[in-house]
Amino acid sequence: MKYTTEIKIDLPIEKVIDIFENPNLLPDWQRGLLYSKLIKGSNGEVGAKRKLKIDLEIRTIIMIETILKKELPHQWHGKYSANGIDSVQKNFFEALNENQTHWMNESEFQFHGGMRIVSKLMPNIFKNRSEQVMKDFKLFAEKGISQRK
């Protein structure tokens, strides 16, 4: 499954990237993030791995994030692996002007085992989650409204 999501954020690209890259701020815009822990490499660098525990309302999942590419402020790509799901998230940032940033995300998922059935029965759940994360980021970045529990 592949899809693209995008959003405009009313902040300069440097401020957007500062928030995006700060692991301490992840719970503020990653809805349901219970914890995030660096398990390999240097924080924020290509090859680094982070363990994430996320409450998705339906269930709680453990996910491993691996940074694949980092060419900020314009690109950041990561791989996410969980039980039955592998995804690559390619994030692209573009300064539209000095006070506005365009964020585009290309998502590609591969499903294994029982998650193949879930992906067929509820295909929109993944795109909806991606769109919600982007909206939550925008709310936090522009207005300070946090999703932190």
Phi, psi dihedrals of residue 84, rounded to the nearest 5°: 90, 0
pLDDT in the model for residue 108: 96
Average pLDDT over every residue of 97-126: 88
pLDDT in the model for residue 115: 81
pLDDT confidence band for 42 (50 / 70 / 90): very high
Tokens of 143: 């207005």
**Beta bridge mates, 78:** 67, 89
Q: Which CATH architecture has domain 2-142?
A: 2-Layer Sandwich (3.30)
Q: What is the pLDDT of residues 45-80, one digit of tens each?
A: 999 999 999 998 778 999 999 999 999 999 999 999
Return the percentage of the chain with pLDDT > 70, whole number: 100
Domain boundaries, the chain: 2-142
Half-sphere exposure of 95 (CA within 13 A, CB side): 10
Q: What is the pLDDT of residues 105-116, one digit of tens each?
A: 999 999 888 887
**Looking at the predicted structure, is the pLDDT value of residue 98 above 80?**
yes
Residue 140 CB: number of other CB atoms within 10 A? 19
**DSSP secondary structure code for residue 24 in this structure:** G
Cβ proximity of 140 and 44 under 8 Å: no
**Looking at the predicted structure, is the pLDDT value of residue 95 above 80?**
yes
